[in-house]
Amino acid sequence: MRTYVALIVAVTLGFAISAGADVPQTQPAAGTMSPKETLLYWVDHFDSMSVDDLMRTYLVSDDKQKSVARSVAEEGIAMTKLQKAVRDKWGKDAETAVLRACQTDTREDDEQADVTMAGDHATIKFKREEITPLPLVHSDGQWKLDIGALIDQYGQGADHLDSNLRQCTVIFNYTIECLAGGKYSSADQLANEISGRLNRVQ
């Protein structure tokens, strides 16, 4: 399940949280940001964005892509809530450990990523190979997540992508409930347990 979980975002947008950020209705200075600057902008505002806000940063062309996009957004929001809860309880190092256990990216991963360009398309490739590359497309003056290209990356596995994303969302929300209920004595315990759950997603 490694590659699906890594998709969080990357899309998910890996997600350093900027507390108190205003909800962005549109990106500032549309058309002036590079693909990586766009990713970091999303990262810095992710915790204040709703599913509908995130959907506006995606490019979709049919109902299947729209369904996957919504699942990506819901998963990313659930992961961000878990990330914040872990950081508030145990600190930044624990937050990083849990992100690693979930096979997703940190702010450092986002900053160090490489970008390749081909016309109106760009791919953000992370140094850590387990993180799914992030395909972007320039549309309406802004860089957006290319959901169609993202689905194509999974080949035959794309048929199960929507279901897998939804399962991951359930796991993140359940883990948040367990954390709030005092189940975990350490971040390592949480990381080990959630890693096992995510690896069983099929």
What tokens does 159 get?
């048929």
More confident residue, 107 or 15: 107
Convert the pLDDT of each residue in 97-141 to its tens digit. 999 999 888 888 999 999 999 999 999 999 988 888 999 999 999
What does residue 174 show for φ and ψ, rounded to 5 degrees?
Answer: -65, -40
Reported pTM: 0.82
Burial of 141 (0-12, 13-18, 19+ CB in 10 A): exposed
Strand partners, 116: 123
Query: Closest Cα partner for 14 from 109, 87, 155, 89?
Result: 109
State pLDDT tens for residues 78-98: 999 999 999 999 999 999 999
User: By CB neighbour count within 10 A (0-12 exposed, 13-18 middle, 19+ buried), where does 109 fall?
Assistant: middle
